């Protein structure tokens, strides 16, 4: 589903290479985790895939079901089924959460040539999904992420994911800033979306999140490359011994 | 000294095109005297430093095409209201509703000034005259001298629905001068709506007296004709425990100068004035000037000025706002914010916020910002599938929200928001 080959990326503003040839293939129905120390390029990978400005792709390709992601605008990538759950969800004062989600949903549907969802249908759907994530009506009415706690912001990301039903979900350090209960709530939300037709790329520092969202494949990223790939046991190794052993081994 | 010599010429050239109507001749003659003494404004006047008044003062109105996009929903269409229609500044009895409503006395200015309606004759021009100090407002005096018509409202109770002044524009060189009088008696309440361009060039004055415990609400949507020009002055006097709220939205217009002169004279009164402007210089130049002067002359009063402008394609925005707190006006709470969102590098915003405070126990704050669209927010919206143009419009509406929130009535607030959304969507899809 998501195919990344030899992806090399530098910062647009300065001559700093962040990704140095990333190869990654995430198939439908599978959950891949990327772990790695700070500054290894994990978040950059998620931003480049979703189309954030400020980066320049110097080599390589990234496709979603064969379509060239790197040629598409961010909104087209979203309509094609890519979703990034932000590490730091953005606050948008003045835009109601519901308005935001309904606009996004209908924009994607329109882009795909599907009929827009009526206000009634939308309301019914969002109420059901919000309930599962313990998001109350008040939170839905408030401006996007404004005044939300860290946990509320992350739950709101998962709500968007549940509503938009993307094919390929990238979670960028969704566990950061979450307490144990919130982590469980968020993980349950993600697990509920696991499906034979959907791929996940879970970026995290810690194995803890992977106790809840069990990955099929674990990659270790360091200095802009994926340096080791294995099963869930790789995450446990990181948890016990840190990255130093693995990095020394592949160096 | 060229300008000093030019002023009388400019003023007399304008006056030569006007005839003084009947009624309130003393007030009109006195106003004419003020116009001649002050002279019509030029760019050299400090108060007109950021806005060139030439097209507002020239002898005849510049041409303005009528803008009537097919299928556009008129502002306030879905609001239950008493319609008072003017076409090119001329009252239209056929298009208007019957001017009667419980809780209100309502009539035409031209009738009120010649008939024996004492309060209107005595009130006419008084707040305009008082508002000439400390800053001269010659175009308002010109209005008092030559206004051909207007509406006169006296609220004696709670009006059952809003009075909507609907200003249609049909002639390409129409030049309208309207003067409205509103008196809200103690404990009474009325909402006045205004919508439309009125004419190619429009000079409007509204004098509003809100007595003790009264409430006056004003929601205005200025016309969408690209080439229209308008200079408006609202003079308000706000009494004890009274509420005064005014909101204006402006989309399009080659020249708009909206002056607001509010004097708070009774204790524990509230006065809010807000504006939301959407300026796009693509089809015609856009220049929009909000000039506000709020005087606190009583104890424990609150005033708010909230002005937002969204500017693109060379659109120009101006804000001049002053809060004057007189020496006895303790416990004053004054707030002023003016903000511009510049969607490109061609557009400009100039702000001159001023505080002048002679009391020692007050809270007054003011702020002014000029900024671009928030790139982080834009990317967040795009990452959810909302294309740049639509995402920008969402952020534009969010930016204007604080001003729109100043409209107390939910139905009116929703109506204004819906029209703004529609105008933005039309622009996006055209």
In B82-157, the DSSP E strands lie at: 82-87, 90-91, 104-108, 151-155
Percentage of chain A exceeding pLDDT 70: 100
As a whole number, mean pLDDT of residues A67-77 equals: 97
Chain A residue with CA closest to B400: the answer is A94
- The pLDDT value recorded for residue B304 is 98
Per-domain boundaries in chain A: 2-250
Query: What pLDDT, in 10s, does the model give residues A100-158?
Result: 999 999 999 999 999 999 999 999 999 999 998 888 888 999 999 999 999 899 999 99
Instruction: List the single residue in A52, A75, A83 with the smallest CB-CB distance to B386.
Output: A75
pLDDT at A76 over 90: yes
Distances (CA, A) of B260 to B154, B273, B281: 21, 8, 25
- The pLDDT value recorded for residue A248 is 84
Q: What's the pTM value of the predicted model, to 2 decimals?
A: 0.92
Which of chain A's residues have a Cβ under 8 Å away from the Cβ of B386? Answer: 75, 103-104, 107
Going edge to edge, which strands form the sheet with A17-26? A17-26, A2-11, A55-64, A67-68
Among residues A5, A36, A8, which one has the least CA distance to residue A202? A36
Given the candidates 1.10.540.10, 3.40.50.300, 2.30.30.280, 3.30.930.10, the CATH classification of the domain at A2-250 is 3.40.50.300
Distances (CA, A) of B217 to A52, B191, B303: 45, 4, 14
Among residues A234, A196, A197, A192, which one has the least CA distance to residue A215? A234
DSSP alpha helices (H): ranges in chain A? 42-50, 74-79, 97-111, 119-132, 137-141, 150-164, 180-193, 208-212, 233-241, 244-250
Q: How many residues does chain A have?
A: 251
Print pLDDT tens along chain B (430 aa).
445 557 889 999 999 999 999 988 999 999 999 999 999 999 999 999 999 999 999 999 999 999 988 889 999 999 999 999 999 999 999 999 999 999 999 999 999 988 778 899 999 999 999 999 999 999 999 999 999 999 999 999 999 999 999 999 999 999 999 999 999 999 999 999 999 999 999 999 999 999 999 999 999 999 899 999 999 999 999 999 999 999 999 999 999 999 999 999 999 999 999 999 999 999 899 999 999 999 999 999 999 999 999 999 999 999 999 999 999 999 999 999 999 999 999 999 999 999 999 999 999 999 999 999 999 999 999 999 999 999 999 999 999 999 999 999 999 999 999 999 999 999 888 7
Q: Is the distance from CB of A67 to CB of A75 less than 8 angstroms?
A: no
Q: What are phi and psi of A147, to 5 degrees?
A: 75, 10
Q: Is B6 helix (H, G, I), strand (E, B) or coil?
A: helix
- The pLDDT value recorded for residue B1 is 41
- Paired residues of B275 in beta bridges: B248, B307
Please answer yes or no on whether B380 and A92 come within 8 Å at the CB atom: yes
Please answer yes or no on whether A53 and B379 come within 8 Å at the CB atom: yes
- Paired residues of A92 in beta bridges: A144
Chain B residue with CA closest to A80: the answer is B385
- The pLDDT value recorded for residue B114 is 83
- CA dist., res. B227 & res. B216, Å (int): 31
Please answer yes or no on whether A164 and B383 come within 8 Å at the CB atom: no
Among residues B107, B51, B84, B317, which one has the least CA distance to residue B196? B84
Please answer yes or no on whether B387 and A75 come within 8 Å at the CB atom: yes
């Amino acid at each position: 589903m998501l195919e990344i080959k030899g992806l090399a990326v530098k910062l647009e503003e300065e001559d700093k290479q962040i990704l140095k040839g990333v190869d990654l293939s995430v198939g439908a129905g599978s959950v891949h985790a990327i772990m790695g120390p700070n500054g290894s390029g994990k978040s950059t990978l998620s931003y480049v895939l979703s189309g954030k400005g400020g980066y320049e792709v110097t080599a390589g390709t990234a496709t979603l079901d064969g379509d060239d992601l790197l040629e598409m605008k961010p909104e087209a990538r979203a309509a094609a089924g890519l979703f990034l759950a932000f590490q730091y969800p953005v606050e948008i004062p003045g835009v109601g959460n519901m308005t935001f989600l309904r606009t996004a949903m209908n924009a994607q549907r329109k882009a795909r040539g599907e009929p827009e969802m009526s206000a009634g249908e939308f309301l019914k759907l969002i109420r059901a999904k919000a309930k599962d994530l313990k998001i109350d009506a008040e939170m839905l009415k408030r401006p996007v992420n404004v005044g939300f706690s860290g946990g509320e912001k992350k739950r709101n990301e998962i709500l968007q994911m549940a509503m938009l039903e993307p094919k390929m979900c990238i979670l960028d350090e969704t566990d950061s800033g979450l307490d144990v209960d919130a982590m469980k709530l968020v993980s349950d939300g993600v697990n509920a979306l696991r499906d034979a037709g959907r791929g996940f790329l879970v970026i995290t520092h810690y194995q803890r999140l992977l106790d809840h969202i069990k990955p099929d494949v674990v990659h270790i990223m360091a200095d802009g490359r994926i340096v080791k790939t294995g099963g869930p046991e790789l995450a446990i190794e990181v948890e016990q011994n840190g990255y130093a052993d693995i990095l020394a081994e592949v160096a | 000294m060229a300008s000093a010599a030019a002023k009388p010429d400019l003023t007399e050239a304008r006056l030569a095109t006007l005839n003084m109507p009947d009624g309130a001749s003393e007030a009109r003659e006195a106003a004419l005297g003020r116009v001649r003494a002050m002279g019509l404004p030029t760019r050299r006047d400090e108060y007109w430093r950021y806005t060139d008044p030439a097209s507002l003062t020239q002898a005849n109105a510049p041409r303005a095409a009528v803008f009537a996009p097919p299928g556009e929903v008129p502002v306030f269409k879905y609001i239950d209201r008493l319609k008072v229609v003017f076409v090119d500044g001329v009252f239209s009895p056929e298009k208007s509703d019957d001017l009667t409503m419980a809780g209100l006395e309502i009539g035409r200015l031209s009738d009120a000034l010649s008939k024996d309606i004492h309060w209107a004759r005595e009130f006419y021009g008084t707040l305009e005259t008082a508002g000439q100090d400390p800053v001269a407002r010659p175009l308002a005096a010109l209005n008092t001298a030559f206004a051909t018509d207007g509406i006169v409202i006296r609220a004696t109770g709670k009006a059952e629905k809003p009075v909507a002044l609907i200003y249609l524009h049909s002639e390409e060189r129409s030049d309208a001068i309207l003067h409205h009088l509103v008196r809200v008696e103690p404990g009474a309440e009325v909402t006045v709506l205004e919508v439309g361009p009125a004419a190619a060039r429009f000079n409007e004055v509204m004098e509003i007296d809100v007595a003790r415990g009264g409430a006056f609400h004003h929601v205005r949507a200025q016309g969408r004709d690209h080439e229209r020009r308008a200079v408006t002055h609202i003079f308000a006097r706000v009494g004890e425990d009274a509420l005064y709220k005014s909101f204006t939205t402006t989309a399009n217009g080659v020249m708009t100068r909206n002056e607001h002169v509010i004097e708070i004279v009774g204790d524990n009164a509230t006065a809010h004035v807000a504006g939301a402007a959407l300026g796009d210089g693509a089809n015609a130049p856009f220049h929009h000037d909000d000039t506000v002067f709020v005087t606190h002359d009583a104890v424990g009063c609150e005033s708010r000025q909230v002005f937002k402008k969204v500017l693109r394609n060379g659109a120009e925005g101006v804000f001049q706002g002053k809060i004057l707190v007189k020496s006895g006006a303790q416990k004053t709470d004054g707030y002023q914010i003016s903000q511009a969102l510049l969607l490109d590098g061609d557009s400009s915003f100039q702000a001159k916020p001023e505080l002048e405070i002679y009391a020692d126990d007050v809270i007054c704050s003011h702020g002014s910002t000029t900024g671009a669209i928030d790139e982080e927010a834009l990317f967040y919206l795009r990452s959810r599938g909302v294309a740049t143009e639509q995402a920008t419009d969402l952020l534009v509406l969010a930016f204007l929200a604080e001003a729109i929130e100043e409209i107390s009535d939910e139905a009116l607030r929703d109506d204004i928001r819906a029209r703004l959304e529609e105008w933005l969507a039309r622009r996006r899809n055209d």
